[in-house]
Amino acid sequence: MKRRKFIRTSGSLVAGTGLIGLSACGSGSSTSVETTDTAAGSGSVVTPFELPALPYAYDALEPNIDARTMTIHHDKHHAGYVKKLNKALETHPAAGAGLVELITNVTDNDADTGIRNNGGGHFNHSMYWEVMAPGGPEAPSGELGDAITAAFGSMEEFMT
């Protein structure tokens, strides 16, 4: 099987696996609605999205990605997406929804532009931190690993 055909036919499997993984890794990336007592009585307050902590040290991906790049990317870029997403949701009717729900229901409406851009940036960066690993990648397992082995003989052969 040619690599291009393999990638094309297995793409949906990989995409589906990624979305399942993202729904699991989004635990620190969701909002919730809490009931609080205020001077005017009870009300709902939306807990904003938060910047997830890196699952490894800033220098853990060296020499491929240096600590300075990771610090800038996490503490400035990703933090900026989270801050702007929370700002966009302050007056938006979808405030309180989870990140995946927000992104899948975004429209072409100007009010959704900040959610699309910043929610997408937050979503992508959250996935990025989870799929990167110190020490390099591990060979895929399960259905994807079996398909690669069946088509190419090994992961090493697939990569060449």
Q: How far apart are CA 33 and CA 141, in angstroms?
A: 38
Q: Which two tokens stand for residue 23?
A: 């729904």
Give the model's pLDDT for residue 118: 93
Q: Which residue bears the tokens 């990336």? A: 29
Contact in structure between 78 and 125 (CB atoms under 8 Å): yes
Q: pLDDT digit of tens for each residue in the chain (160 aa)?
A: 555 555 555 554 444 444 444 444 443 444 433 333 334 334 444 558 999 999 999 999 999 999 999 999 999 999 999 999 999 999 888 888 889 898 888 888 877 888 999 999 999 999 999 988 898 778 899 999 999 999 999 998 998 8
Residue 90, SS3 per DSSP:
coil
Give the model's pLDDT for residue 159: 86
Residues 6 or more apart whose Cβ sits within 8 Å of residue 140: 148, 155
The full set of domains in the chain, from first to last, is 3-159 (1.10.287.990)
Q: Is the dihedral of CA 82, 84, 90, 92 positive or negative?
A: negative
Q: SS3 sequence, 29-61? A: HCCEEEEEEECCEEEEEEECCCCCCCCCCCCCC
Q: Is the dihedral of CA 69, 119, 79, 76 positive or negative?
A: positive
Give the model's pLDDT for residue 34: 37
Give the model's pLDDT for residue 136: 77
Give the model's pLDDT for residue 95: 84
